[in-house]
Amino acid sequence: MVSDVAESPQSTSAGGKDPSTRSRRGLDGVNFLMADVRDGVGPYLSVYLSGSRDWQSGPIGLAMAASTIAAAVCQIPAGLWVDGSRNKRALIAGAGLLVGIGCLLIVLFPGFWQVMAAQALLGGASAIIPPAIAAISLGIVGRRLMPARISRNEAFNHGGSFVAAGLAGAFGQYLGTNWIFYLVCAFALASAVTVCLIDPKEIDHELARGGEDPANACKAIPISNLLKIKGVMVFLISVTLFHLGNAAMLPFAGQVLALTHPGSDTVALSACIIAAQLVMVGVAWAVGRAMKSGIGRKPIFLVALAVLPIRGVLFSFTSNPYGVVAIQLLDGVAAGIFGVIAVIIASDLTRGTGRFNLMQGLVALASAVGGSFSNIGGGYIVQWFGFSAGFLSLAAAAVLGLVFFLTLMPETSRYDADAAEEARA
């Protein structure tokens, strides 16, 4: 049984720690394998339902949104659970296995309500994985080394997505799209084994929940006080707008390919994902280097927000597979930045509050809300007005997010720890 109970860290330096090679490799492996697990089959579900089950864009949008809505409902409980748990490895393993089960259910019972229920299971399970991985990372390396560790996590995550997308394309082309779901199950089993490599004795659970002094357990501030910290609500709204403009773009592109190039849609979609993941690996590394050199969090995230409307406008003009793949490279920039910077900003804002994983849950909740409205609203816009209108509506949402963040968000790299004390009052 995977357990971290009653085990203490080998080091208690909030600034930085020196984890063992085994734990570092375990974290690398979990991030690599979880890349194809924490999001289920992602945009491949759109291709599967459109190409193999003849679903229309509206119901596909509902199915895609079912996962994000379930994730939204589970984000805050998941963050609180991770904050209070000393069994974080078991949470990761169990959630991954539930994702695998959900994928099997979609293949075995492909009716509308069955797919909706399976997607809800996927969403609930996937809500646990990102905060648990980030919490273990912070608990192992400490706050000073956290930006570099998160950058490394994301690089391995995108590398795993690259490999998974290549396999999914090959499986979908030669064995059928059903095999993409079986692939996710295999990754889920492998990740459950790999998480055992992380040494539980090296996880400082006080640091892992955002505590400032590992020697003295801090009392977590009330949730209402967390929301009063300067920048928290602005950041959460910005995250919602980011995903409102981003989430449905790749599924829409997959549907365009399924309609205009039937038979090669899975390969083309895999090429989109592979191209973007290659860019994300480099972007994740670059973001870590940029923060190390002193560049603030705000200008880095602004780059991600600025890329989205460009991508949406370009998608509205083409259905050529090569053009779609080329445009998808921009997703590598936006998503690559977000994957790193969102965790770091959450860590900045919750320093000394004991609410790091709850904040991650709130960020994921904001992402899920934005993603749900993106898929549902965008899906029906596409069904009524066409794909060009759908892409342009997403681009408009992204512009709103860019202006909102630029105008109202403070720079969190200069965040004053005294804000945490004020939040306790």
**Cα–Cα distance between 204 and 251 in angstroms, integer?**
39
For the chain, counts of helices (H) and of strands (E): 18, 0
- Range with lowest mean pLDDT among 85-94, 192-201, 238-247, 275-284: 275-284
Whether the per-residue pLDDT at 401 is higher than 80: the answer is yes
DSSP 247: T
Whether the per-residue pLDDT at 261 is higher than 70: the answer is no
Would you place residue 368 in the very low, low, confident or very high pLDDT band (cuts 50, 70, 90)? confident
- Report the 10 Å Cβ neighbour count for 64: 27
- Read off the pLDDT of residues 297-306 as tens digits, 9 standing for 90 and up: 999 999 999 9
Beta strands in 174-291 (DSSP E): none
Q: What is the CATH number of domain 21-424?
A: 1.20.1250.20
- Report the 10 Å Cβ neighbour count for 15: 8
- Report the 10 Å Cβ neighbour count for 240: 23
* pLDDT value of residue 27: 92
* pLDDT value of residue 218: 58
The answer to whether the CB of 177 falls within 8 A of the CB of 272 is: no
Would you place residue 211 in the very low, low, confident or very high pLDDT band (cuts 50, 70, 90)? low
* pLDDT value of residue 385: 85
* pLDDT value of residue 308: 93
DSSP 217: P
Whether the per-residue pLDDT at 220 is higher than 80: the answer is no
* pLDDT value of residue 10: 45
* pLDDT value of residue 180: 83
The answer to whether the CB of 27 falls within 8 A of the CB of 137 is: yes
- Range with lowest mean pLDDT among 41-55, 79-93, 157-171, 293-307: 41-55
The answer to whether the CB of 301 falls within 8 A of the CB of 237 is: no
* pLDDT value of residue 338: 93
Would you place residue 165 in the very low, low, confident or very high pLDDT band (cuts 50, 70, 90)? confident
Whether the per-residue pLDDT at 347 is higher than 50: the answer is yes
